[in-house]
Chains A and B, each alone.
Chain A
Amino acid sequence: MEALRARTQTVKAAPFSYSAPDSLDEVLALLDRDPDDTKILAGGQSLVPVMAMRLSRFERLVDLQRVAELVGITREDGSVRVAAMTTHAAAGRDAVSAAVPLLAGAAPLIGHDAIRNRGTVGGALAHADPAAEWPAVALALDAELEVAGSGGRRTVAAADFFLGTWTTAVEPTEVLVAARFPVWQGACGFAVEEAARRHGDFAMAGVVCGVQLTDGRVTRAALAHFGVGGTPLRAPEAEAALLGATVDQVDAAEVAALAVRGLDPADDLHASGAQRTRMARALTDRAVRNAIKEASGG
């Protein structure tokens, strides 16, 4: 065993120091001390690979796993509050989170079981990968993000939260502590559609859709793309086209054409930009039809 140990002291990540405080106050105090070289560790399912490949290195990691107040899903007035360290798996199957069907709709599309058991909703929102599902769900639903710093807490609207690829409104001295997803009442339908090379891979294109019907007319509509820009993107023209239409009048193909107008996704190894736009259009068409069908009780 000694020989084995001597032979295999290989490591992947650059050295860092580690702490796992019990309280949010301690976490914030550590951040205040050295905000630029301290990184918050949530589930680690994006951070650890980045460190293993040495694309990033940090002086110290502050692990949130022991901060009890950062786990759990609670029903609040008009919304479901998902604390930051709640795992994707828990958010997808929780009885309380069922009030926001997009939580159960999006969770199974994230990675694989082993990733969903570790990865967290707050981690994914704060990481802000352009191809990730939670940021698009948050944007589509006008979620509110609770951010804590040693000076106090503030609430940031999802529309103001995602600033660019892997960039959010969270300051280096702050921690995202929860997301509040609004509960839609009445006849509602939701859909998440995405295209990935394999189930669980990052989406080449994806869309989140929500519609609410009142007396057979669309009275609320939300559409947000992911994977086709630096941040998730709302599709206001397409939403406007849905609003006020009766179920029979909705032309999903036309809505989809409007929804991709102005998209300019980049080319990469997995798909060209033009291909991504075509995917986004086909997925939006499908998402709108599925959401309308669900809202109509079908």
Chain B
Amino acid sequence: MAEQVAVTVRVNGEEHVAVVEPRKTLADMLRQDCALTGTHLGCEHGVCGACTVLLDGRTARSCLVFAVQADGHEVTTVEGLTTPDGGLNPVQEAFRAEHGLQCGFCTPGFVVSATALLAENPEPTDAEIREGLSGNLCRCTGYQGIVNAVRRAAGRPGSEVAFDTGAEKEGAR
């Protein structure tokens, strides 16, 4: 029997204790031990961003954190972003309004990343939105609906008039 370690993680404000192998990722702990399956696993090696959660208030890929590393820390998953009565928060509402999802697999990661982006920068430019979400992959939408959703959540709904040619980003550097 492989070594097992007890870890205590505060998830969405609630203390969770789990006995895990050190090699178990935080993502697997959230899904299997906490039964919080809103956090999705795509690539499981830190490329797709589907498993993004807030760890001590900052975005982190839960597949790149072992559960033992999160012992004593705080985690917020997509389940923890809903309003107190369980409704959708403004970012989630905006994703629905702007068709920011199709199959929905990547959506929890996008919602967590977008929430963190807007908390730090409440009025991001389109270039900042794209850069802020560049760690999340979506294979359905082509990203336009997602960018529009974040624009809406930031209080400036509407679509970009032209395709992003990269010119804006180039100029910003």
Chain A residues near B31: list those with CB within 8 A. Answer: 8
Q: A119 — nearest CB in chain B belongs to which residue? A: B64
Binds B, one of A11-19, A95-103, A203-211, A219-227: A11-19
Known: A44-B64, A112-B49, A112-B135. A15 touches B59 (CB 8 A): no
Complexed CA–CA distance, A41 and B23 (Å):
13
B159 at the interface (CB under 8 A from A): no
Question: Which of B5, B22, B55, B136 gathers most chain A CB within 10 Å?
Answer: B22
Contacts A48-B66, A65-B69: A13 and B23 contacting too (C-beta < 8 A)?
A: yes
Bound complex: CA A61 to CA B25 (Å)? 14
Q: Closest chain B residue to A5 by CB distance?
A: B32
What is the CB-to-nearest-CB distance from A207 to chain B, in angstroms, rounded to a whole number? 14
Is A18 a contact of B33 with CB atoms below 8 Å? no
* B22 & A10 in contact (Cβ 8 Å cutoff): no
Which residues of the partner chain B approach A4 to less than 8 Å between Cβ atoms?
A: 32, 35, 37
Separation of A44 and B5 alpha carbons in the complex (Å): 19
Interface size class, chain A? 35 or more
User: Which single residue of chain B is at the shortest CB-CB distance from A14?
Assistant: B23
Considering the complex, give the chain A residue whose CB is closest to the CB of B58. A117
Mark out the residues of chain A between 101 and 116 whose CB falls within 8 Å of any chain B CB in the assembled complex. 111-115
B116 neighbours in A (Cβ, 8 Å) = 113
Known contacts A52-B63, A65-B69, A114-B52; A45/B134 CB under 8 A: no
Question: Which residue of chain B has its CB nearest to the CB of A60?
Answer: B22
A16-B23, A200-B134, A200-B135 are contacts. A52–B45 as well, Cβ < 8 Å? yes
The total of chain B residues at the interface (CB under 8 A) is: 41
Asked whether B68 is an interface residue with its Cβ less than 8 Å from the other chain, the reply is yes
A154 on the interface (CB 8 Å rule)?
no
Tell me if A15 and B3 are in contact (CB < 8 A): yes
Cβ-closest chain B residue relative to A1: B35
Partner of A44, one of B32, B58, B66: B66
A61 in contact with B22 given A15-B3, A44-B69, A114-B135 (CB within 8 Å)? yes
Q: CB within 8 Å of B: which of A1-44?
A: 1, 4-5, 8-18, 20, 41, 44
Contact of A9 among B32, B44, B132 (CB under 8 A): B32
Please list the 9 inter-chain residue pairs (A to B) with the smallest Cβ-Cβ separation, ordered nearest first.
Answer: A112-B135, A18-B22, A49-B45, A114-B59, A117-B58, A13-B23, A48-B64, A52-B45, A15-B2
Besides A18-B22, A118-B64, A200-B134, 20 new A-B residue pairs in contact (Cβ under 8 A), listed by A number: A4-B32, A8-B32, A12-B23, A12-B25, A12-B44, A15-B3, A16-B22, A18-B3, A44-B64, A44-B66, A45-B46, A45-B61, A49-B45, A51-B23, A52-B25, A113-B59, A114-B60, A117-B59, A118-B55, A199-B134
Give chain B's interface residues, CB within 8 Å of chain A: 2-3, 5, 21-25, 28, 31-33, 35, 37, 44-46, 49, 52, 55, 58-61, 63-66, 68-69, 71, 113, 116-117, 130-132, 134-136, 169
